Amino acid sequence: MRFAPFVMAFALAMIPAAPAGAKLPPLRDPVILNIGFVCKWQTSCIEKQQRAMKRSLSYVKRWKPPTWKVEQCNRNAGRSRGSGRVDWIGFEHCIKNPKITRRYANVQHR
């Protein structure tokens, strides 16, 4: 792809300059990159998303919810902002919600 360097240069130019001592967003980590885009690189939002991600992953590891529920919550979390990016806070609320049943997992929304 000939335009790939241009796209990367454009993306880097769009990142606001960080104050001295601040970390730049890690562009090679897809999870952090996704959270950064969801939060528009606002530090407090990123921290909330990361905490929700850790709690969600811990919950899934400990309680082992059914696959259909994880997939449904993943779809719901990606749909919530309309960007196709996963909102971890939404995922956490969904995965811990006991009211979500399998009969709603196969419903197609249009």
pLDDT of res. 78: 83
pLDDT of res. 29: 81
The single-letter code of the amino acid at 25 is P
Q: What is the token pair recorded at 76?
A: 């719901």
pLDDT of res. 8: 45
| Contact predicate 26/41, CB 8 Å | no
Each residue's pLDDT tens digit in the chain (110 positions)?
A: 454 444 444 444 444 555 545 555 567 788 888 888 889 889 999 999 999 999 999 999 999 999 999 999 988 888 755 566 788 999 999 999 999 988 655 555 54
3-state secondary structure of 84: coil
pLDDT of res. 71: 92
pLDDT of res. 23: 56
